[in-house]
Homo-oligomer: A and B are copies of this chain.
């Protein structure tokens, strides 16, 4: 390896380790996302033209147009999308990350998470709740609308007020602790959601003097299931990863994303180009009543977690995950250990108790992936063709993305 690449990758690792995500605010996408417009809909995955979107992700975009009031019917939405009156773009290009289909519309509230060390911001919208029918799984109907409205009008404003009352909520120490409590902060956010709740309670208490019902309902939303923190973890991952992007000569991944057509990666030293390839393969544990034929791909930027050393890269911190996504402790340990072979180093904050508090493997090097043929392992929710979550599992990022990135790296920087 040439020494420029080595020092560039060391700089990327340093930036990944020194990121300091702080939840600063909550606000509508139209107000806080740079460049967002009233008629823009964001979706997860590398950027592709509207006409390339298929399946659940296409359905999600159409549903988003209806939810935002940009179209009264799916047909009207399609016509306006076809004509360019409604614009579709990749969330990643707006400093945001989308869960599954990852639909953002202008009025949706988003978490505003600033990387205090580097000043940049990452965004993510809110978790829709436990009901498997969700816009981010490509479904839109009256129930989905009502649940979105509830989160947007009841929960988000209370969280916003609490965050403002707190003067911002540092997230990294919560993430560090959650890794000691069975979370890997992608498919498991149980402890982090509790820790976050705990952090905002004193502020919620104050707010409850004037907004009693809202606070009660928000506490319910925070604690009723175990995923509330995921969107903050994603925004944190995004602002950490973005600060590590653009290091000249670096061969470390600064973003991964699942699209409805292919998986893609972006590399710190290779500008804004995405390197795509086939769709990933998945080992899934499906909910009762579902089968593998139903598995479909409709996007997913939540693999930003693995990009910064979480999720699949911290599986051995989260043995309870086996109940949700299958696998055995032995497999989880073996999978997690081999990922050290494809990263440039270890995380200095995110640590795995079972590995004697060794830092998680961090900074995925395209050369190491291409040479070892060890694919990054990613913890994901699995979508079904009917537009619901039907399970969860472990995805292997396709090698071809990394091989193409290596080719581009060699073209730019020489052998």
Q: Mark A143-181, 1 if CB is under 8 A from B, else 0.
A: 000000000000000000000000000000000000011
A182 is contacted by which of B181, B323, B329 (Cβ under 8 Å)?
B181
Question: Which of A69-77, A349-357, A372-380, A403-411 makes up part of the contact surface?
Answer: A349-357
Tell me, in angstroms, the Cα distance from A323 to B328 when the chains sit together. 25
Tell me, in angstroms, the Cα distance from A228 to B319 when the chains sit together. 25
Q: Determine the chain B residues whose CB is within 8 A of the CB of A356 once the complex forms.
A: 322, 328-329
A43 located at the interface, meaning its Cβ lies under 8 Å from any Cβ of chain B in the complex: no
Q: Determine the chain B residues whose CB is within 8 A of the CB of A319 once the complex forms.
A: 353-354
A216 is contacted by which of B182, B198, B205, B357 (Cβ under 8 Å)?
B205
With known contacts A354-B354, A356-B328, A357-B323, A202–B216 Cβ distance under 8 A: yes
Q: Mark A201-239, 1 if CB is under 8 A from B, else 0.
A: 110010010001001100110010000000000000000
With known contacts A182-B182, A198-B197, A357–B191 Cβ distance under 8 A: no
Min C-beta distance of A383 to chain B, whole Å:
26
A87 located at the interface, meaning its Cβ lies under 8 Å from any Cβ of chain B in the complex: no
A187 located at the interface, meaning its Cβ lies under 8 Å from any Cβ of chain B in the complex: no
A32 located at the interface, meaning its Cβ lies under 8 Å from any Cβ of chain B in the complex: no
A195 located at the interface, meaning its Cβ lies under 8 Å from any Cβ of chain B in the complex: yes
* Chain A stretch 322-357: residues in CB contact (< 8 A) with chain B: 322-323, 328-329, 353-357
Name the residue on B nearest A180 (C-beta): B320
A115 located at the interface, meaning its Cβ lies under 8 Å from any Cβ of chain B in the complex: no
Min C-beta distance of A355 to chain B, whole Å:
7
Is the pair A223, B205 in contact by a Cβ cutoff of 8 Å? no
A190 located at the interface, meaning its Cβ lies under 8 Å from any Cβ of chain B in the complex: yes
With known contacts A355-B329, A357-B323, A219–B190 Cβ distance under 8 A: no
Q: Determine the chain B residues whose CB is within 8 A of the CB of A201 once the complex forms.
A: 197, 201, 219, 223
Q: Determine the chain B residues whose CB is within 8 A of the CB of A220 once the complex forms.
A: 202
With known contacts A181-B191, A320-B181, A329-B355, A205–B198 Cβ distance under 8 A: no
A194 located at the interface, meaning its Cβ lies under 8 Å from any Cβ of chain B in the complex: yes
Closest A-B pairs by Cβ, 7 of them: A319-B353, A180-B320, A181-B181, A320-B353, A181-B182, A194-B194, A319-B354
A-B contacts, 28 of them at CB < 8 A, read A180-B182, A180-B190, A181-B181, A181-B182, A181-B190, A181-B191, A182-B191, A191-B194, A194-B195, A194-B198, A198-B198, A198-B223, A201-B201, A201-B219, A201-B223, A202-B219, A205-B208, A205-B212, A205-B215, A205-B216, A208-B208, A322-B353, A322-B357, A328-B356, A329-B353, A329-B355, A329-B356, A354-B354
Further pairs besides A198-B223, A202-B220, A205-B212: 10, Cβ < 8 Å = A180-B182, A180-B190, A181-B181, A181-B182, A182-B182, A201-B223, A205-B205, A205-B215, A329-B353, A329-B356
